[in-house]
Structure 1
Amino acid sequence: MANDNNRDTERAWELMEKIGFAMLVTHDGDKLRSRPMAAYVDRQADAVYFLSDVRRHKDDEIQKNPNVNLAFAHAGDQKYVSVSGTAAVSNDRAKIKELFTTTAKAWWDSAEDPNIRVLKFTPEEAEFWDSPGTVISYVKMATAAVTGSRPDIGTNRKVAI
């Protein structure tokens, strides 16, 4: 059982890293807000990092309620991961420089921009769906519809990470 959990945990991390972008869901009062973010997955640190702009509201929302969710999706490959955990905002300039890549250049001129902040997400629990792919999934669903059975369209696991 422990090996299965370790394998599932590793698979959740692999999928997050492969997908690379996540919808970051925060609390805005009693409402949920979601926005796409480039994810810097760091399995060794048990963290997912994001660069954020202090002029946007997500930093304030995280300060008020650090419980957030990340939703990773690669629809073409039928790979999905939903991760619950906590986030913290910092002005760690060394980490900002480390994470500043071509993706970040689309939003800021340089890592020296004083508006950049680091969001560090610490995961607690993940659920993933790891399907064999769109075509195979559709064939299995069509077969199940004709035969009246349930399709086996991949692995669905919930794991603590």
Structure 2
Amino acid sequence: MANDNTRDIERAWELMKKIGFAMLVTHDGDKLRARPMAAYVDRDADAVYFLSDARRHKDDEIKRNPNVNLSFADASDQKYVSVSGTAAVSNDRAKIKELFTASAKAWWDSAEDPNIRVLKFTPDDAEFWDSPGTVISYVKMAAAAVTGTRPDIGTNRKVAI
């Protein structure tokens, strides 16, 4: 069982890294807010990092309530991961420089921009859905509909990370 759990944990990390973008869900008072973010998945650090702009509300929301959710989705390949955990906002300039890539230039001119912050997400648990892909899933669903059985369209696991 421990082997299966370890394999499931690793698969959750692999899927997060492969998908690369997440909807970051924060608390804004009684409401939930989600926005797409480029994820820097660092399995060795057991963390997911994001670059954020201090002028946006998500940093304030995280400071008020650090419990957040990340939702990764690759609908074309039928792979999904939902991860719950805590986030922290920092002004770690070395980490900002490390994470700053060409795609970050769409938002900031350089890593020296004083408005850039790092969000560090530490996961507690994850749930993933890992299907063999859209075409195979549709074929299995059609076959199940014809035979009156339930389709086996992949793996769904919950793991503590």
* TM-score bin (small chain): over 0.9
Aligned length: 161
What RMSD over aligned residues (CA atoms) do the two structures have, in Å? 0.4
Equivalence for 1:4? 4
Q: Distance in 2 between matches of 1:90 and 1:124?
A: 20
Q: Deviation per CA, 1:51-86, whole angstroms, max 9, x where unpaired? A: 000000000000000000000000111010000000
TM-score by length of 2: 0.99
The yes-or-no answer on 1:44 pairing with 2:44 is yes
Q: What pairs with 1:2-151 in structure 2 (closer than 5 Å)?
A: 2-151=2-151
SS of structure 1 residue aligned to 2:76: helix
TM-score by length of 1: 0.99
SS of structure 2 residue aligned to 1:6: helix
Identify unmatched segments of 5+ residues in structure 1.
none
Letter in 1 for 2:93: R
Deviation of 1:103 after TM superposition, in Å, equals 1.5
Q: Deviation per CA, 1:17-48, whole angstroms, max 9, x where unpaired? A: 00000000000000000000000000000000
Runs (4+) of structure 1 moved beyond 2 Å? none
Q: Distance in 2 between matches of 1:132 and 1:38?
A: 25
State the identity as a percent: 89
Deviation of 1:96 after TM superposition, in Å, equals 0.2
Letter in 2 for 1:105: K
Identify unmatched segments of 5+ residues in structure 2.
none
